[in-house]
């Protein structure tokens, strides 16, 4: 029985995997036109995530999470340009079990996983999450606090009613 189970398990091949983010991660810019981003997983759907961040930063409108200005750091008069983006992804599999039982190859997908990314620059285009920025450490601390507030709120409000 165990042998049969192991054979059937080996017939499932992952064709697209989604990286799990346990707390958060800092993704370096892939080319010079990109910025370093602070990313973490989200327990809620994309639109609710956008609503929460609009409320957190006291923004209005639908597209205002892109390149909005904020002082961001307490005690600093430096103006930062912040972009909050969200995305979803799902793992994809090929199930070859049907080849043995006459069903053919079946494609399967996991449930959607949701993520949030944040970039911080300034008017001159300096990437302040990059290692070379003097603001990197305090910004990362602030972003970790925001991530925790977001997670605490979503855990304490399972119905996801924000306003």
pLDDT at 12: 67
pLDDT at 36: 93
Taking CA 32 as the corner, what is the angle to CA 26 and CA 37, rounded to the nearest 5 degrees? 20
Neighbour count for residue 104 (Cβ, 10 Å):
10
Residue that the structure tokens 């017939």 belong to? 11
Cβ atoms 74, 93 nearer than 8 A: no
**3-state percent helix, strand, coil for the chain, nearest multiple of 5:** 30, 25, 45
Q: What rounded mean pLDDT belongs to the chain?
A: 80
pLDDT at 7: 45
Greatest Cα pair distance, the chain, in angstroms, is 68
**% residues pLDDT > 90 (the chain):** 33
Asked if pLDDT for residue 93 goes beyond 80, the answer is no
pLDDT tens, residue by residue, 96-109: 666 666 666 677 77
Higher-pLDDT residue of 63, 23 = 23
**% residues pLDDT > 70 (the chain):** 76
Q: Which of 20, 25, 21 minimizes the C-alpha distance to 140?
A: 25
């Amino acid at each position: 029985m165990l042998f049969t189970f192991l054979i059937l398990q080996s017939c499932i091949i992952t064709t697209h995997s989604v990286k799990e983010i346990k707390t958060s991660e800092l993704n370096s810019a892939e080319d010079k036109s990109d910025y370093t981003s602070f990313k973490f997983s989200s327990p809620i759907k994309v639109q609710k995530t956008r609503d929460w961040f609009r409320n957190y930063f006291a923004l209005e409108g639908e597209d205002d999470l892109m390149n909005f200005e904020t002082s961001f750091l307490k005690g600093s008069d430096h103006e930062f340009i912040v972009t909050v983006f969200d995305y979803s992804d799902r793992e994809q599999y090929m199930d070859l079990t049907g080849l043995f039982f006459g069903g053919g190859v079946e494609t399967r997908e996991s449930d959607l996983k949701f993520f949030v990314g944040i970039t911080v620059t300034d008017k001159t285009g300096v990437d302040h999450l990059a290692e070379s920025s003097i603001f990197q450490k305090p910004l990362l601390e602030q972003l970790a606090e925001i991530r925790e507030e977001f997670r605490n709120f979503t855990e304490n409000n399972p119905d996801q009613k924000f306003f």
